Amino acid sequence: MGWELINSYMKGQNIAQMEIDSFDQFVDTKLTEIVEENKEIVPKIEEVKIELSNIEIEKPKIIEADGSPREQFLPMEARLRNRTYSGPIYITMRLFRRDVEQDARRTFIGDLPIMLKSEYCWLNGLNDDELAATKEDPKDFGGYFIVNGSEKALMTQEVLSSDRVLISEGDKGTVAEVISTKGAFKGRVRITRSPEGLLYVTFPTSPRKLLLFTLFKALGLKTKKEIFDAFPEEKEVQNDLLLNHEECEIKKEEDALDKIGKYVAPGQVIDYRLRRAREVIDGFLLPHIGQAEVARLAKAYYLSMMATKAIERSYGLRGKDDKDHYTNKRLELSGKLMEHLFRYSFKYFVKDLRFQIDRTVTRRRKLNISTIVRPGAVSERIRFAMSTGNWIGRSTGVAKFLDRVNYLAPLTDIRKVKSQLSKTRELYEARDVHGTHWGRLDPIETPDGPQCGLVKNLCFMADVTTEVAEDGVEDFLHKQGVKLKKI
């Protein structure tokens, strides 16, 4: 019975389907989100502005040496001619000068390597006979790219889960930390409860030894009652709060903001210091909750939840979190890796666009879209990363040659999982087989030597889901009668 089930599963299942679904999600939704993050470009010359919208990807095509375009460019031709199997990226750009539209056009901004068998690949939806006619192996599963004629697979990256509070014991006390992620920005927010019971908070660009109660005042919890109401009524928690309240000398919101402002903008006038402090709190403190002023109270309540967990751990009321437990891990498939790469390349494109506008205006040349766009700004960075395997965030070996020694070799290549931990350190616990690997990761298939336990393989019947938008879940909860607590 077992083998019948396995055979039927393998017949109807493409082994690389999760990679294809991930890439399709990147092209369909994430590209638009990245453009939305950078939709308005304002260079140093303030009277000029560019608006970006409607990013589109087309199926792979080729322009021959004589300049003639050819609509259909198949993967086998890319392999034989040492070309990159990529589709053109178009974006609608509107150029304004003194709020008057000067130019608007659908502009070519570069090429994006297309994953084989994905939605934008010419092989998508073809039957076995049609695949054979294009000189493709009907049994080939896709899920990889062709860059400069070489087949490249992106190795799935194992990372710690973002926006998830983890409790641990440190040298300086109990620590509750979360990796807060918004777009390309990742900020680690940490609350430390010292052995004496004092609560300190650190986040990107924050002052050292910043008391949590000082930050509460800066976030708008002005009175003792407002702060205490944000915490549960457990005796141990309330005792710690009373101690922290006594130690906190700052009573007003402005004084709390000024303490942060003196660190981020030393030597400046008070108005500028206060403004910079507010910018830092909005931009760098828990950005996944929001980066506007209205999110400050929500951030205060989130911090109170983190502090409660740290206090409870100190009194032995809750256990530590296991970083090796697979609940606390996420797997970044090809789509997520391409999202990181494209966001970085697109940021550079925007920066280059600003530079080209400034240069054109300074030299008093005619300003139009075709003269300021350099398509290579996006394409070169993507192609370089996929050729070398050097990715954003100093990751190496992300893109690797697809091994074609035998039929099984590419199957294992496409399902390899690489941890981002350093291979030079011992890290015994991270290398061990964990109970939560059962049914997800192969306990035997791992290399010898320094990579042992850090490079793993997904089981053939394991499946990785793609990211889901929160809005649908929230709407469903509202329909079930769940009410949000008013903050």
27-46 pLDDT per residue, tens: 999 999 999 988 888 887 76
Residues in the chain: 487
Q: Tokens 């660009």, residue?
A: 205
Condensed to tens digits (0 to 9), the pLDDT of residues 406-450 reads 888 998 889 999 998 888 888 888 899 999 999 899 999 899 998
Report CA 298 to chain centroid distance, whole Å. 22
pLDDT at 239 over 80: yes
How far apart CA 211 and CA 226 sit, in angstroms, is 17
Q: Is 451 left (phi over 0), alpha (psi -120 to 50) or beta?
A: alpha
pLDDT of residue 117: 94
What percent of the chain shows pLDDT beyond 70? 99
pLDDT grade, residue 357 (50/70/90)?
confident
Tokens of 107: 């502009």
Task: Give the model's pLDDT for residue 461.
Answer: 86
Confidence of residue 21 (pLDDT cuts 50, 70, 90): very high
Supply the pLDDT for residue 421. 87
Confidence of residue 311 (pLDDT cuts 50, 70, 90): very high
Per-residue pLDDT for 462 more than 70? yes
> For residue 166, is it left (φ>0), alpha (ψ between -120 and 50) or beta?
beta
The letter for the amino acid at 294 is V
Q: What is the CATH code of the structural domain delimited by 15-150+331-404?
A: 3.90.1100.10
Least confident of 33-47, 144-158, 294-308: 33-47
CA distance 280 to 112: 35
pLDDT at 486 over 60: no
Confidence tier at 1 by pLDDT (50, 70, 90) = low
Q: What average pLDDT does the segment 75-98 reach?
A: 92
Token pair 């939709």 in the structure block, residue: 39
335: left (phi over 0), alpha (psi -120 to 50) or beta: alpha
Q: What is the pLDDT of residue 487?
A: 44
Give the right CATH number for 166-314 from 3.40.1350.10, 3.90.1110.10, 3.40.50.300, 1.20.1050.90.
3.90.1110.10
Average pLDDT, the chain: 89
Q: Is the pLDDT of residue 485 over 80?
A: no
Burial 64-100 (b: 16+ CB within 10 A, else e): eeeeeeeeebbbebbeeeebbbbbbbbbebebbeeee
For residue 79, what pLDDT is reported?
94
Higher pLDDT, 148 or 365: 148
Q: What ranges do the domains of the chain cover? A: 15-150+331-404, 166-314
251 versus 214: which is more confidently predicted?
Answer: 214
**Residue 171: pLDDT above 90?**
no
Distances in Å between the Cα of 106 and the Cα atoms of 213, 366, 367, 370 are: 52, 19, 16, 10
122-145 pLDDT tens trace:
999 899 999 999 999 998 999 999
Q: How many CB atoms lie within 10 A of CB 250?
A: 18
CA 350 to chain centre: 19
What is the model's pTM? 0.90
